[in-house]
Amino acid sequence: MGDQSPSHSDYSSSVDSTNYFQQCKYIHEVELVNMKLQMRILETHLETKDRLLRNLEDIIDEQETRIANMEDFIQGRTAAYTPPTVMLHGISALSLDFGSLSEENLRLKEALRAGHRKERINELLETDEDYESDMTSVSGEGESARNGNNDLMTQSAIVASKARAFIDEHQISRLKRCAEELKNEKDELKRLSQDMKDAFTVCMGEVKLLLESKTVDFFKVLMERYKAEMERRKTLHNQLVELNGNIRVFYRIRPLLSTRDQAAIRIDSMDEGVVHLEHSSGRKTSRAADFVIPTKFSQNEIFEQVSPIVTSCIDGYNVCIFAYGHTGSGKTYTMEGPSEDPGINQRAILQLFEAAQERGNDIEYTIKLSMIEIYNDKIRDILSTSSSTSSSLTLRRDDSGHLSIPGLECREVISPSDVKNVLKEGSTNRVVAATDANANSSRSHVIVRVHVHAKNNVTGSTTIGRLNLVDLAGSERVSQTNATGQLLKEAQAINKSLSELGNVVFALRQGQKHVPFRNCVLTRLLEDSLHGDSKTLVLVHISPEETHVCESISSINFAEKIGQVQMKGPNAFKRAESVRKSTRVGGKMESPHTTPKKTNK
């Protein structure tokens, strides 16, 4: 049966040549090969079917033979039965055919797929036009078509590269144009920005000018108002002080120093402006003053009474505060005071500091201190350690017409501790000098002079105010001291200067044309601080002890002379009446203990 079947290997080799497609250039060639292959597949199928039919016929033949053999054996026509093997052989040959057939089919299918793939590739590669022209000139022009195609490809590549180059160039030029436009826009923006800047500068300049002119106007108005207000405040303060009198007299009666002492002086229980004195003889005298400081008043309360005129100094006014009274009446206690409870000197200067601070930064204040002692009508600098200046100085009138003491030490103080230190130094020097020159420090006048220089930074104006804090020498009468020689000379000098002071203050109070400033060093030294708008306060100190009644009366008379005590306030009539009565009761006013005339004699 194997011999009958066609050679399977021949068949397969005929269809196995897939190289066939490799040689195909065009689609029609591929299609041709495809057709051939399909034909071959059909032929192969037919051959295979034929072969199968033949095999089946063989098998049927074998089966029929076998059945016949079996019938023979069953019917006893044959002795033995031998099964045939031919059929099995036919079946195995058949299965082999099927196997090779299926493999062949697979190869054919693969060849077909390759053919289709190739066809599709050609379709894609060739343009329609090229293909058409190739088809028309297909006969014998295959090679030239291929070359044409190659040329086309080359051209296409060239065109593509040109196109790319063109695109690149186009892109570059477009980018360049964009860059140019951007540059132009940038320049335009720059110009605009500059224009705006210029416009802004011009506008700001105009606004500035406008503001300046407005500000200058506004500032001028403010300055005028400020100046007016400053002047108004000064005037009001001055009026307030003047209302109380530019020259005022206060009494201070110190407390009894010993419980054994008898008080001969008392303040009127109904009117604090009147004091009553009771002489040992029984004679009674009553006197009125601007103000009688109650005995219970503390140092601070007393200072509160004098502080308004101290404040005048910061406004450029000259101020004098005198402590008048006999030795032991409490002058130094009032002015200097104990360190734990200081007197007017320290409190006044500290108040100037406070007032300067309250006025703010607009006004720059400089506060300087000098300390002078007048002993035997001679000026001594008690802040100087130099023996020449501490011994004796002279008064000079400078070019501006002001009296000055050349060589006098003047210390600037910038803090409360400075003030305390300088005052303490002067006080110590005075005590040391007192032991050398005079036995009792109450035998000289001591002047603490405060110079307040104010510079208004807003208006540019400057003012100078002077505050003279004077602790006068004891006013006891010469006749009572039993002094002779140096002590008599000393006492006479003191009495003369106190009398001259009385005369000057009296003349000023009376508004006399001639004021006898030149009669002694004390009044000459204080000339600038006593006349004009100057404020003067005389604190007349009185001892309450019976033993000092005469001195007390003498001091009261002095106060009356210089003050011509004004009758003011609700109790003015009563006080005036009281004074009138006292004059009547006493027969006549006590005359001052000394007069210039008497001293001159």
Q: Is 455 annotated in some ligand binding site?
A: no
Residue 294: contacted member of ligand ADP, Mg ion, none (CB under 5 to 8 Å, by partner type): none
- Is 332 known to sit in a ligand binding site? yes
- Output the CA–CA distances (angstroms, integers) from residue 340 to 328, 555, 601, in the order listed: 20, 29, 45
Angle at the Cα of 335 (from 439 to 271), degrees rounded to 5? 120
Closer residue to ligand ADP (CB): 252 or 509: 252
Using CB under 6 A as the binding rule, whether residue 443 contacts ligand ADP is answered as: no
The nearer residue to Mg ion, 311 or 332, going by C-beta atoms, is 332
Tell me, rounded to whole angstroms, the distance of Cα 572 from its chain centroid: 59
> What sign for the dihedral angle of Cα 53, 57, 62, 64?
positive
Task: Output DSSP code: residue 126.
Answer: S
Shortest-Cβ-distance residue relative to ligand ADP = 330
599 is in an annotated binding site: no
- The torsion of the CA quartet 293, 493, 531, 470, rounded to 10 degrees, works out to -40
Stretch touching Mg ion by CB under 5 A, among 13-21, 106-114, 388-396, 442-450: 442-450
Residue type, 529: S
CA 557 – CA 592 distance, rounded (Å): 6
Please work out, in degrees rounded to the nearest 5, the angle formed at the alpha carbon of residue 363 by the alpha carbons of 357 and 366: 75
Check residue 332 for interaction with Mg ion (CB under 5 A): yes
Q: Which is nearer to ligand ADP, 245 or 343 (CB)?
A: 343
Shortest gap between Cβ of 236 and ligand ADP (angstroms)? 33
Footprint on residues 314-373 left by ligand ADP (CB under 6 A): 325, 327-333
User: What type of residue is 88?
Assistant: L
Does the annotation place 99 within a ligand binding site? no
If the CB atoms of residues 245 and 474 are measured against ligand ADP, the closer one turns out to be 474
The reply, when asked if residue 279 is annotated as ligand binding, is no
Annotated binding-site residue? 331:
yes
Minimum distance of ligand ADP from residue 293's CB (angstroms): 9
How many residues belong to the site for ligand ADP (CB under 6 A)?
14
Per-residue binder mask for ligand ADP (CB under 6 A), 454-483, x = binder: --------------------x---------
Q: Answer with the entry of Mg ion, ligand ADP, none that 325 interacts with (C-beta below 5 to 8 A by kind).
A: ligand ADP
Query: Which of 56, 158, 257, 432 is close enough to bind ligand ADP by CB under 6 A?
Result: 257
Give the integer Cα–Cα distance in Å for 281 and 290: 28
Stretch that binds Mg ion, among 207-215, 325-333, 402-410, 512-520 (CB under 5 A): 325-333
329 binds, among Mg ion, ligand ADP, none (CB under 5 to 8 A by kind): ligand ADP
313 in Cβ contact with 234 (< 8 Å): no
CB of 331 to Mg ion, least distance (A): 5
Instruction: State the SS3 of 160-172.
Output: HHHHHHHHHHHHH
Q: Locate 318 and state its tokens.
A: 């000259």
Q: Cα separation of 517 and 503, whole Å?
A: 9
Is residue 328 a known part of a binding site? Answer: yes
CB closer to ligand ADP, 115 vs 330: 330
CA atoms of 139 and 142, how far apart (whole Å): 7
Based on the shown chain and the rule CB under 5 A, indicate whether residue 286 belongs to the binding site for Mg ion.
Answer: no
SS3 assignment for 481-536:
HCCCHHHHHHHHHHHHHHHHHHHHHHHHHHCCCCCCHHHCHHHHHCHHHHCCCCEE
Rg (CA), the chain: 71
Please state whether 581 falls in left (phi above 0), alpha (psi between -120 and 50) or beta.
Answer: alpha
**Structure tokens belonging to residue 338:** 């104990």
| 2, 84, 142, 255: residue in contact with ligand ADP (rule CB under 6 A) | 255
Helices and strands: H and E segment counts in the chain: 18, 14
In angstroms, what is the minimal distance from the CB of 401 to ligand ADP? 35
Which residue ranges make up the site for ligand ADP (CB under 6 A)? 254-255, 257, 325, 327-333, 442, 474, 541
Q: Which residues are annotated as a binding site for ATP?
A: 325-332
Which residues fall in the annotated binding site? 325-332
Could you list the residues that contact Mg ion (CB under 5 A)? 331-332, 442
